[in-house]
Structure 1
Amino acid sequence: MAKISVRKETSTLLFDFNYLGKRCREQTTLRDTTANRRKMEKVLERIEREIVAATFDYAKFFPGSNRAAEFGSKPALLPTPVRRSAVVGFAAQPAIAERTTPTFGEFTAIWLSENTAVWRRNTLKATLVQVNGYLLPRFAEMQMHQILKADCLAFRADIAKPGGSMKKRTLAAKTVNEIMQILGAIIAEGADRYEFPNPMQNVKRLKAPKVHIEPLSFDEVEKFIAKVREDYKQYFIVRFFTGLRTGEVHGLHWKHIDFERREILVRETYGDLGREYTKNESSQREVHMSEPVYQALKVQYEASGHLSEYVFCSRTGTPIDPLNVNKRVWKPTLKLLGMKDRRFYQTRHTAATLWLASGEAPEWIAKQMGHTSTEMLFKVYSRYVPNLTRQDGSAFERLLLQRLGGGEQQ
């Protein structure tokens, strides 16, 4: 494994790497300091990069070395401009042959245009925020193959430090990881196309705090439904007892309500950018209607079935605004009941924890939630998992009927 070492006799740094099956150690006159190590690490990365690409010319890096004569001169495979090494103090500033690739800014434009057709609009919007706000200001003018691991790590350190966000705030580890994930995707695609080593390959994610959820208990759900505005009772019954995401509830169409089979067909979402495909393929699912949900949707149909294609809509038939519901209905009701303020998304977590409490099978719950496996279920809700039994939805049904009552079974 290539590394920077220290010669004990002189306390100076040296390159230590393997080339053509032989260990090579090349001395410099640089003292062992952090700054000098960083300079040499960049050169060492370039050496490794050229060795992998079969363009490494030993004599150009170390013209005075005995190894240079041993290995001979190997011209670069691609005719490229010659750039001087940034390291001062070894081999009299040798010339290093480098290839030419698109700049990060140029390739990112290509990468975005190619993915626009397959991404959801919200995905594209979020990606553009990170690309324009963080990645392009840092890497836009650098050629793709010139971006080193040290550059990526330094960038991560800068955005992760206090005040590292665009608004001079401190970014959460989750957000830093999202930005680095986009950077990694762009560089990985460039490395594959232009055949250079991927500097992001072994860059690890920051450790992010475990997701903290604050679901409502069954007693709190009952109190909430009893006190919430009458025109939103059915809406919250559906949210609390189906686990639908906000966009899925607001994008729900009557054509996707199957009263006969007692299923809600999740097929699209609605958000700031209008209607679009669900979050991913697994989100395309059929959610079971428990009796309270069935009755709530029957009542809602009488109220809005003639007014709009959307199940939950405004007086003019348009989808209701989630920010408006959050501000004018959700939070005021929590405050009225003296309950802790929570994110709107806790209705989804509430459904999951109630299913778990009733003893439903994890596989069934994961399917209802739109997860591809039970991994996320146990990761997020581990402390809510009791001694589980294998059921199919009937256990939760019995719990709802016991606590809330309901109409006749169809």
Structure 2
Amino acid sequence: MRTIKTKDYLTTWLETQENKLKASTFDGYRKIVENLLIPKFGNLALNRLKRKDIKDWLGPMKCGNKRLSNIQSVIRKALTDAVDDDLLDANIMFDFCYQKKDTPKEFDDVDPFTPEEQQAILAAFDPGIAAQFQFLFWTGLRTSEFVGLDWSQIDLIHQQIRISKVITAASNGVAEVPKTKSGYRRVKLLKPAMVALSMQKQLTYKKGKAVFLDPETEERWAGDAPIRTLWTKTLKAAQVRYRRPYQTRHTYASMMLSAGENPMWVAQQMGHKDWSMISKIYGRWMPSANENAGNKAEAVFANCI
């Protein structure tokens, strides 16, 4: 069994992954390999890498267990392939995952916008742009789903949209499939979302496939970076405390649940596998999925738009 340096193996292995993974997933792998693994273990012979080395390295890291798990997942996959290629006798990461004892967070990440804040934010945008963010507040779409949305995915007759693809910054404008089976779904268009789409249709329907365009380029949004730039500027103008654009998704969930909508319906709308995640994340807002789902939230909040 020949000896190979870890950096040489990881560099070659990473190249083999590019055509196997979604662009966003590969970009995550690349960053872990190039920014973390090679600088730390690159000069070590691959067969000299020990589980204790990994544990001692991860221990002082100031990050959560999810990040630690992602790093170890890349190592585990790379070493599994090394075993398959007869470069190693065994995978030191097999049946092992280092975790820290989680410390309770003083505040969680869910920080929705109040109806008054939503109104101030939308008023600070130009009307055509305000419609885009009104749509986000009232559909709960992920940014990648919002960016990738085409007019062909919208059924105005049945008032629903079909989520079947995403576009991320890492994919360079190329559409990819959702990460999970539950990501494929049909989202009911509530009245404020329908109003927003009506305005968008006047602005973008004849310009191409994309529903939502960057006002600076008049083309499809290039990921979330330009959205954040415009969002940050607008929240400052609206004198609303800053929260990242993803909080529009949390706002949607909190509105639906606090208005009494069925948690299972909310989970399906948002693309969660089941309602346990909804309960875990949004439990504080929870007080039957049917054809009237969404009407309670409309009655409570739509007049604020």
Give the TM-score range, shorter chain: 0.7 to 0.9
* 8 A contact 1:308–1:317 mirrored in 2: no
Cα 1:378–1:184, aligned 2, differ >3 Å: closer, same or farther?
farther
Is the counterpart of residue 391 in structure 1 residue 285 in structure 2? no
Letter in 1 for 2:92: P
**Which residue of the other structure, out of 191, 194, 198, is the alignment partner of 1:298?**
198
Q: Which residue in 1 is equivalent to 2:176?
A: 277
Q: Which residue in 2 is equivalent to 1:221?
A: 118
Greater helix percent: which structure?
2
Aligned equivalents of 1:123, 1:324: Cα separation in 2: 21
Larger Rg: 1
Aligned equivalents of 2:121, 2:44: Cα separation in 1: 55
Is the counterpart of residue 156 in structure 1 residue 58 in structure 2? yes
Aligned equivalents of 2:241, 2:11: Cα separation in 1: 45
Aligned equivalents of 1:358, 1:227: Cα separation in 2: 26
Aligned equivalents of 1:304, 1:288: Cα separation in 2: 21
3-state SS of paired residue (2:273)? coil
Unaligned runs of 5+ in 2: none
Cα 1:335–1:176, aligned 2, differ >3 Å: closer, same or farther?
same
Greater strand percent: which structure?
1
Cα 1:377–1:110, aligned 2, differ >3 Å: closer, same or farther?
farther
Aligned equivalents of 2:15, 2:83: Cα separation in 1: 18
Cα 1:366–1:189, aligned 2, differ >3 Å: closer, same or farther?
farther
Letter in 2 for 1:120: K
Identity in percent: 25
Letter in 1 for 2:175: E
Residue 230 of structure 1: how far off its partner (Å): 1.3
Unaligned runs of 5+ in 1: 1-98, 161-169
* 8 A contact 2:128–2:203 mirrored in 1: no
Is the counterpart of residue 346 in structure 1 residue 247 in structure 2? yes
Q: Which residue in 1 is equivalent to 2:20?
A: 118
What is the CA RMSD across the aligned residues, in angstroms? 2.8
**Which residue of the other structure, out of 209, 228, 234, is the alignment partner of 2:131?**
234
Is the counterpart of residue 131 in structure 1 residue 29 in structure 2? no
Residue 127 of structure 1: how far off its partner (Å): 1.3
Aligned equivalents of 1:362, 1:189: Cα separation in 2: 41
Q: Which residue in 2 is equivalent to 1:181?
A: 73
Residue 117 of structure 1: how far off its partner (Å): 2.4
Residue 278 of structure 1: how far off its partner (Å): 3.8
Q: Which residue in 1 is equivalent to 2:266?
A: 365
Aligned equivalents of 1:369, 1:191: Cα separation in 2: 39
| TM-score using structure 2 length | 0.83
Aligned equivalents of 1:370, 1:255: Cα separation in 2: 20
Cα 1:149–1:314, aligned 2, differ >3 Å: closer, same or farther?
closer
Matched residues, number: 294
Bigger RCO of structures 1 and 2 (CA < 8 A, at least 6 apart)? 2
List, as ranges, runs of 4+ consecutive aligned residues in structure 1 with deviation greater than 6 Å.
none
* 8 A contact 1:360–1:393 mirrored in 2: no
Residue 198 of structure 1: how far off its partner (Å): 3.5
Residue 361 of structure 1: how far off its partner (Å): 2.1
